[in-house]
Amino acid sequence: NTLKGGTLNPWLPELGSGQMAPSAIQYEGKTSQAGPRTLYDKIWADHLVHEADGSSLIYIDRHLVHEVTSPQAFEGLRSGGRQVRRTDCTLATVDHNIPTSTRKNFKDTKSFIEEADSRTQVMTLEDNVKAFGLTFFGMDSDKQGIVHVIGPEQGFTLPGTTVVCGDSHTSTHGAFGSLAFGIGTSEVEHVLATQTLILSRAKNMRVKVSGKLLDGVTSKDVILHIIGIIGTAGGTGSVIEFCGDAIESLSME
């Protein structure tokens, strides 16, 4: 419940408050089922707002934003005269266009990033977070980092939550017991405006890896082997839960 140095997690109390889903939403449709449920089943049922004609409206607890997939989304909000629905559930950082050179002499983005397109994207996000009042870890912040790392680091990613980001690597947050996935730019705008997302229910898939991994065999080796068995499209339409001795012995990293 605490961050490094004993600081209280600023986002944790909201999960139990009356201002945050699921307690703040009147759910519609069937949200329970007989028999055992997977983690995906439980999180889905807890976040289902409405279901009709094969499509579901799901409440989103956590939205991570970065400079690449957000410019058009923010412009869409401006065009429609809309604000960000839940600024307290939205966390922005710059990530993909950041130079790897030292920031010892960093003054501002304009003078630090030489590549024009990268500089434009980073500066655009800086302007957008100011305009819409979002929490932002910029280049002058010691909390800035890889967008998929800062969520867990800052206690923003929590078990049982739905987590989205405009990046395909977002599913790595699933290691923390959350339902996490990447979304497109139009969906980024939808989440910013409504804190919900339209989805189709996925199938459940379990992958069990038994035994002890030999020295030098990493999680990357395991997943590449799994992909080699089921194919690159083997998980399409499904949410995979990994289990077994080999998985349980892995560190969070």
Task: Identify the structural domains of the chain with CATH numbers, from first to last.
Answer: 37-201 (3.30.499.10), 202-252 (no CATH)
Percent pLDDT > 70 in the chain is: 87
What confidence category does residue 12 fall into, taking pLDDT thresholds of 50, 70 and 90? Answer: low
In this structure, are residues 140 and 106 in contact, taking their beta carbons and an 8 Å threshold?
yes
Q: What is the Cα Rg of the chain in Å?
A: 19
Cα 179 from Cα 27, distance rounded (Å): 19
Instruction: Render 54-92 in DSSP notation, one character per residue.
Output: TEEEEE-SEEEE-SSSSHHHHHHHHHHT---S-GGGEEE
The model's confidence at residue 252, banded by pLDDT at 50, 70 and 90, is: confident
Q: 41 pLDDT exceeds 60? A: yes
pLDDT of residue 22: 40
β-sheet bridge partners, residue 162: 179
- Tokens 């065999």 label which residue? 217
Tokens of 165: 């980001």
Q: Are 172 and 147 in contact (CB under 8 A)?
A: no
Report pLDDT for 180: 97
Task: Give one DSSP letter per residue of 90-146, joined into a string.
Answer: EEEE--TT--SS--TT---HHHH--SHHHHHHHHHHHHHHHHHT-EEE-TT-TT---
Query: Can you tell me the distance from the alpha carbon of 235 to that of 231, in angstroms, rounded to the nearest whole number?
Result: 8
User: 73 and 185 in contact (C-beta within 8 Å)?
Assistant: yes
Q: Is the pLDDT of residue 88 over 50?
A: yes
Distance CA(11)–CA(150), nearest Å, equals 13
pLDDT, one tens digit per residue, over 191-230 is 999 999 999 999 999 999 999 999 999 999 999 999 999 9
Report yes or no: 209 and 246 within 8 Å, Cβ to Cβ: yes
Q: What are the tokens at 84?
A: 């960000």
pLDDT of residue 253: 85
Q: Name the residue among 69, 87, 96 with its Cα closest to residue 187.
A: 69
pLDDT at 5: 44
Residue 2 has pLDDT above 70, yes or no: no
